[in-house]
A and B are shown apart, each in its own frame.
Chain A
Amino acid sequence: MNLGALRAAVGGSGRRISISQLLLNNSTIILFIVVLLVFGLSSNNFLTLESMTNIVKQASFTGIIAVGMTFVLLTAGIDLSVGSNMYLSSVVAGLLMRQTGMDVLPALFVALIVGTLYGAFNAFCVVKLKIVPFMVTLATLVIGRGIGTALTDSKQVDFPERMLHFGQSPILGIPMPIVVFAIVIVAAYIVLTRTPLGRQIYAVGNDVEVAKKAGINTDRVIAFVYIFSGFCAALAGFILISQIGRLDRSFGEGREFDAIAAAVLGGTSLFGGVGNVAGTVLGALLMQLVQYGLQFHNVNLYIQPMVRGAIIFIAVFFDSLREANLSKLKRRFIRPLET
């Protein structure tokens, strides 16, 4: 075989790999930009500050939950109860506000306590009773909504006027949900990357047995992620209600899947140890962008879910392509490629 031709072929394919690798590594952000451009080019008034603000604001509710979910997924766990948690913690806060005239901030505090305890119960079942997270949180998903509907007689809860006032006062000109979302993002980012606990979360997700052998208190780490996820769910629920002023019995239903989808879109692995906050935020924004764009363009209501599903499918497919490509690249080379 002609050596020169061989070298050219090898060199050429080598360069192709690196470009496709670059594309795949950033597939979610590329997909995000493509979707943004498609919507933007098909209408003059889509790419406006107002639209963008709206997308970020709408994404913040699922986004906050998804950040908590990312912590859980990093340990190879799952939290299906976040939607019910949103509902129950807000129900408790709402009833207190109505019946005792409690102010907004104390009510927020109560909601967060309820959500955190909800998460702590999940943590207790996972860590102490050693039940599989999927089953624990599936059970508490049903139980939580059950308690909430019992407390309200499954009636709608209308919040006092001051709740809407709280939710609709911007902070430094920025809508309140966006500010809260930003705080959660920054705090979660710092915890995951800069604190011992954060790095131990990654270690537990990589191999829990090894983590135990390394002397990490794995029970404490795992308990933390469920408690944090509960906290985030309650926070998101309360903030969402402060925008709409009431909740009904289906409030928060199905949010767990939006949150999981956002995290996975952002590159979080369901098998633990892989993922980060930035990716999850991007995933939440992408999902909201698609939904908003479809509504903006008055796409047929029946087609919208199909498009959203297709986008999720494409993103996850790219992710699996990247994984396959990575494992190919990790193959050990034992002789020089060019001779």
Chain B
Amino acid sequence: MSIVLETRNLTKAFFGITAVNNVSIHVNEGEILGLIGQNGAGKSTLMNLVGGVVQPDDGTMLYMGKPYTPRGPADATRERIAFIHQELNLFTNLTIAENVFIEGFPTVGRGPFRLIDRGAVKKLTQQVLAAVGLDLSPDMPVDRMSPGERQLVEIAKALYLDASLIILDEPTTSLTNRETEKLFEIMRQLRAQGKALVYISHILTDVLAISDQIAVMRDGQLMTQEPASAFDINRMISLMVGRSIENLYPPRTSQPQADSLLELRGICAAGIVEDVNLTVRKGEVVGLFGLMGSGRTELARMLYGLDSYERGDIVVKGQPVKRASSRASIRNNVAFVTENRREEGLLMNINIADNIALVSLPNFANPVTQVINKNEMLSSAGQVANLLQLKSGNIALQPAKALSGGNQQKVVVAKWLLSKPSIFIMDEPTRGIDVGAKYEIYGIIDQLAAAGSGVLFISSELEELMGMCDRILVMSRGEMFGEFQRSEFSQEAILRAAFREGGNGNHHGQRSNGQ
């Protein structure tokens, strides 16, 4: 079995922080290398070096036994290395076929009169789409596709390249379970065809199940690379964090109080949610569980005022909200940590401190002149950043886009923490971030509740909800389908409700079931 790619002592630093430090890994033909590590451990940077997106400060790479020094992504493409990034890289204004071929269209004619060979494009696209099991027209514009379908188009692109090495950087974060299964099946097929794959993921059970080799990174360094059989989940975690995590969840230190902070009464929006009622009390952490597409995020957006609803009332601290808007929500001290931090949560080109201070800017302004007290703002932002153990350079200089995914998520949380909200809506706050950072986020949730805030915690990971919440509500197809007190928590019962296998006698579920 030959080695497809080998890195030797690769080193790369950004803004004075060493992201990749002296890393040597290898990927074999016909194997999947699982690459794991905490956020900011250097996984994505390592793969960006391989993909030619950034260039190493030191070290070498061997590809197919020959020295390999990509100066740009085009070099990697030419060597048939396909890189599927964490954030999808498709052109939403073009069709599937155009996205597959954008780097090099088959053409007819010669010289300056070369035209795209539309017939060939269509045929080849149909072939690669069939190979990934996507039943869509090649002429479908990408902006009309779901995230899962877009991910498969990225894979189809790699197939068309006939890539020898395929790098997948957290490909499953936006996929449904069925789509994830499909992706794994395709990955296994590719492995059987002798391709080399690198699979980066935070879902350790997936990595363990699909990888032949596993490499673990911590703080920019390679801890070890060994056959997957040498690992179990505990060993993976302890290598990643440098200690074994005994308690995945911090103990809850507060009890819900009687006053209700947030109430939804009969919220309806045709085609999205139907007659939703919920209450969040002072000091309470309420979990909102549901499968993908159950309407959790849509509900959160309505209640924060980003999307409209047709009927029903939102009551904040006993006061009905007349016209929900994000400004009104901020005035009411409602905070919203979005699911999609990259597109909705952060100003990517702006420095970290300004991102953190964004919502609370009025608090730093002189009441008369409205001039911002920059020092006070920086020190407050710095305090919150420290509290969350943000891993960054100078927060007044470094732009948010220079941070790793998990640290970006911390910036979103920091932004809202600074505004001292009394109601915290968190939509998948731990998605795509590592075990250590998750624990920190859980700690923050508990502290918020202990300080008298109410938290609405939306997640697809039932275990973390059961670990952190006082109460769990289950949504299914836009309706509330079950409600569980902490004493009633049972994975099976909650999942049954999410799959509409009858809730736990909750009247909403019964009524909308037509009984």
Contacts and interface: CB of A to CB of B under 8 A. Distances in A.
What DSSP secondary structure best describes chain B's contact surface? loop
B478 A335 contact: yes
Interface string B148-173: 00000000000000000000000000
B53 A334 contact: no
B51 to A, nearest CB: 8
A195 interface: yes
Interface string B282-319: 00000000000111001000000001000000000000
A216 B118 CA distance: 20
Interface string B76-109: 1110000101000111111000100011110100
Nearest to A198: B116
Given A210-B89, A337-B271, A215 B294 contact: no
B327 interface: no
Interface residues of B, number: 40
A334 B89 contact: no
Given A213-B85, A333-B272, A335-B477, A196 B93 contact: no
A130 interface: no
A213 to B, nearest CB: 5
B470 interface: no
Contacts of B143: 330
A205 B94 CA distance: 11
A334 B295 contact: yes
Contacts of B98: 199, 202-203
A128 B115 CA distance: 29
Contact of B270 (A10, A213, A274): A10
Nearest to B74: A215
Interface string A294-319: 00000000000000000000000000
Interface in A1-35: 10
Contacts of B478: 334-335
Contact count band on A: 20 to 34
Given A196-B107, A213-B73, A335 B295 contact: yes
Given A213-B73, A213-B89, A332-B298, A200 B102 contact: yes
B93 A206 contact: yes
A210 B271 contact: no
Given A210-B91, A331-B272, A216 B116 contact: no
Interface in B26-81: 53, 72-74, 76-78
A273 interface: yes
A135 interface: no
B229 to A, nearest CB: 35
Interface string A199-222: 110110111001111111100000
A197 to B, nearest CB: 9
A330 B91 CA distance: 17
A173 interface: no
Contacts of A10: 270
B73 A334 contact: no
Given A194-B116, A195-B116, A273-B93, 6 more contacts: A194-B118, A196-B107, A203-B102, A214-B102, A334-B295, A337-B271
29 contacts: A195-B107, A195-B114, A195-B115, A199-B105, A199-B116, A200-B102, A202-B91, A203-B94, A203-B98, A203-B102, A205-B93, A207-B91, A213-B53, A214-B89, A214-B102, A215-B72, A215-B76, A217-B74, A273-B93, A331-B272, A332-B298, A334-B272, A334-B294, A334-B295, A334-B298, A334-B478, A335-B272, A335-B273, A337-B271
